[in-house]
Structure 1
Amino acid sequence: MEFRALHPEELEPWFDHVGHVFSTSRQYFVNHWEGDPWKDPAGIRVAVDKGKIVSTLRVFSRAMFLHGEHVSMGGIGEVSTLPEYRRRGLATQLLKDAIRFMEEREIALSSLHGSQRIYSVEGWESVQRHQAMQHFSRRESTAWTIRPADFDSQNELAQIATLYDNYSRKFNGAFVRDNLAYWTDWVKTESPDAWVAEKSGKLEGYIAVAGKLSVEEFAVSDAQFSQDRGKQLFEAMLGHIIAQKDAETLEVEYAAPIADGFNAPKVHTYGGTMYRVINADKMPSRDALPALLYHQPAYLTQGLQSHHIFWPTDNF
């Protein structure tokens, strides 16, 4: 059994492997590869038996906001083993291999979505996220013009990216999106139901939603945030979207740290995000997990129970 990085010429067989093991569309994994401006074949770690890929995982090269700073992050995803090769410790060996890879690349932190014991054994720790559930009613805004986002407009995309950057850095865990190609190739594909709130030709809010109805991501201008953490604008945008869905009232799920989420009628915890410090000297704080993700330095403190956010749009 050989454990190594994927060779570039093995990309098509790798797509076949993950599509087969996950029993989902092969195109999903192709999109995650082609839409990723930071893709790196060396980040795909494989176990190969007699020339055949039998187990794999992918290290997604990202940066995330942590204590207001950009921190390099390796996301572990697409962990998959052929059924006939399971219970042989291949995934464990690939995780160890991925840790060495991230150490060599001087990546500060790693995250993944899961709760299996295999991850905690190798050093990943679960950090809870808080989700709010609340009913909102249809309404038409008189303060803002709310309309679908235009990702094909470079000017609008730049405004959205600025809103996102200024807002998301107030929390811990959101990904840095400093490459506009990520917006056009990944975000547009993963969260196509996106809206903006405009006033006097300037964007003051951005939201992406899915299903019926969950918030995939949200951002407001600093001016709106300073008033009420963006609560009025958040409610106005949801009210407009609900009206467009021809509904009167819908229950909405969203990240509790945004707007007034911690005061919603229902707040529940979600423990499926795990983190592992890879290179401690690259971290902005020596705090241990989970406090590292919950707390912010004084200048970013908002009096919240937790500052930990992950936008589902960035899921891998």
Structure 2
Amino acid sequence: MKNEMKDRIEIRGCRNYDELLKVVRLCDAAFEKTPFEYFERHILKDATLSPEDTRILIVDNEIVSSVQVFPRTMYLNGGKIDFGGIGNVATYPAKRKFGYAELVMNDAINYMKEQEFKFSLLTTTINKYYDKFSFETLNRELIEINKVSPNFNKSIRKFNRVNDFGVVKNIYEYYNRDGIGPLFRDIKYWEAQFDFCGEDENLFLVFETTNSVEGYIRAVRENDKIKILEFAAVNDYLQIFKSLIESLCYQTGINDFEMFLSESEKQKLQLKNYISKIDSDLMILLFENRLTELQKRELTKYNNINYWLSDFF
């Protein structure tokens, strides 16, 4: 019986748009609380992906399970390192408990090794499941900044993609290139990210003085809070950050904020009066003999990765 089942199974990457669309429908069926358009954005609108990056398991000519591999490059102490993100791990509800997800997950890991990635990252709330694939939990700090006072600031305005993109790109690189965790973004990635990240364009604000943009913030509303997706500036980090969140508060009427704050970001921003809690959703898989011992320590140290939510996979 097991041999018959193996004969009916095919595991590989997607080959065309039609198969990718079937994966979108699969993910939509597997995750009832996540809207269809979320999977459309992350599977169909990310121009950095090839169809092959979407790994699928087929039974009797039907795609029943999937794993998305996201090829990414991370800044690491002034250098750059390639890794694979994992997302959209899905199986049709009626096809669960046959071990399909484990099979396609192992295929995705082998695929990432073939691409010569150094490690893999994923976010999950079922850490024990991914323990079996040798993923390790990374603890980060999620902070709340409450009771922000609203303030109108004439130096702050909405991001204009045509006029501001070049300077925002440069600010991002300046602020993040010596960090641990931010992604390296070329033009192709930036353009794709605008399509797949799902931000609120009205909450992408820039701080400008004498016709020069010196900082920016990206955010979304989430229930009764503002979730900060990304921040960067070229100077006066704390003052620009405070001005931007006060402006967001003025614009939205919401005065409670949330963001991930790594140890390096703490040193940069010098924030005070925030509430911190441990988040354990991020996990890492280190591929054997592909990282130095220093790189391993930097990647796995407590709250050391500064990964912006705008790059979420």
Asked whether the two chains share a fold, i.e. TM above 0.5, the reply is yes
222, 232, 235: which one aligns with 1:219: 232
- How high is the TM-score relative to the length of structure 2? 0.85
* Equivalent position SS for 2:129: helix
User: Given that residues 191 and 216 in structure 1 are in contact (C-alpha distance below 8 angstroms), is that contact kept between their aligned partners in structure 2?
Assistant: no
Alpha-carbon deviation of 1:52?
0.4
Matched with 1:197 is 207
* 1:293 and 2:299 aligned: yes
Question: What residue number does 1:300 align with?
Answer: none
Aligned with 1:57: secondary structure? strand
Provide, for residues 247-272 of structure 1, a one-character-per-residue CA deviation record: whole Å limited to 9, x for no partner.
6xx12212223354664331111110
**Which of 121, 125, 138 is the matching residue for 1:127?**
138
SS at match of 2:293: coil
Aligned to 1:33: 43
Residue 15 of structure 1 deviates from its aligned partner by 2.1
Q: Within 5 A, what are the aligned runs for 1:219-298?
A: 219-221=232-234, 223-224=235-236, 230-246=237-253, 250-257=255-262, 258=265, 259-260=268-269, 263-278=272-287, 280-281=289-290, 283=291, 285-287=292-294, 291-293=297-299
**How far off is 1:101 after superposition?**
0.5
- 1:164 and 2:176 are equivalent in the alignment: no
**TM superposition score normalised by structure 1:** 0.84
**Deviation digits for residues 241-296 of structure 1, max 9, x if unmatched?**
2112246xx12212223354664331111110001123643x4x32375x32266x
State the 1:215 CA deviation. 0.9
- 2:306 aligned partner, one-letter code: I
Whichever residue aligns with residue 131 of structure 1, its letter is L
Contact 2:68 2:86 in 1 (8 A): yes
Distance in structure 2 (CA, Å) of the matches to 1:39 and 1:84: 29
State the SS of the aligned residue for 1:307.
Answer: coil
What is the CA-CA distance between 1:35 and the residue it aligns to? 2.7
For the aligned residues, what is the CA RMSD? 2.2
SS of the counterpart of 1:244? helix
> C-alpha displacement at 1:315, in angstroms?
1.6
Residue 315 (structure 1) aligned with residue 312 (structure 2): yes
Does the 8 Å CA contact 1:99/1:278 hold for their aligned counterparts? no
Shift of 1:12: 2.5
- Pair 1:22 & 2:70 matched: no
Partner Cα distance (1:5, 1:183) in 2:
22
> Hey, what's the Cα distance between the residues in 2 that align with 1:28 and 1:220?
29
Following TM superposition, where does structure 1 have runs of at least 4 consecutive aligned residues deviating by more than 6 angstroms?
none
Matched residues, number: 291
Alignment-derived partner of residue 12 in structure 2: 4
Consecutive unaligned residues of structure 2, counting only runs of 5 or more, are 1-8
Distance 1:306 1:294, change over 3 A: farther
Verify: 1:64 aligned to 2:77, yes or no. Answer: no
Deviation at residue 14 of structure 1 after TM alignment: 2.0
Out of 67-76 and 170-179, give the one that drifted further. Answer: 170-179
Tell whether the 8 Å contact from 1:18 to 1:80 is kept in structure 2 after alignment. Answer: yes
Residue 166 of structure 1 aligns to a residue whose secondary structure is helix
Q: Does 1:118 align with 2:117?
A: no
Note the C-alpha offset of 1:74.
0.8
- Structure 2 CA distance for aligned equivalents of residues 199 and 15 of structure 1: 44
Partner Cα distance (1:165, 1:219) in 2: 9
SS of equivalent to 2:294 = coil
The equivalent of 2:5 in structure 1 is none
Structure 2 CA distance for partners of 1:262 and 1:231, relative to 1, 3 Å: closer
Pick closer, same or farther for the CA change 1:264–1:73 going to 2, 3 Å: farther
Moved more, 175-184 or 197-206: 175-184
Contact 1:194 1:208 in 2 (8 A): yes
**How many Å separate the matches in 1 of 2:288 and 2:55?**
20
Match of 2:149 in 1: 137
One-letter identity of the residue aligned with 1:160: V
Q: 1:78 to 1:261 in 2, by over 3 A?
A: farther
Distance between the aligned counterparts of 1:51 and 1:86, measured in 2? 17
* 1:43 matched to 2:53: yes
CA distance in 2, matches of 1:53, 1:137: 51
Matched residue type, 1:215:
I
User: Which structure 1 segments of 5+ residues have no match?
Assistant: 225-229, 296-304
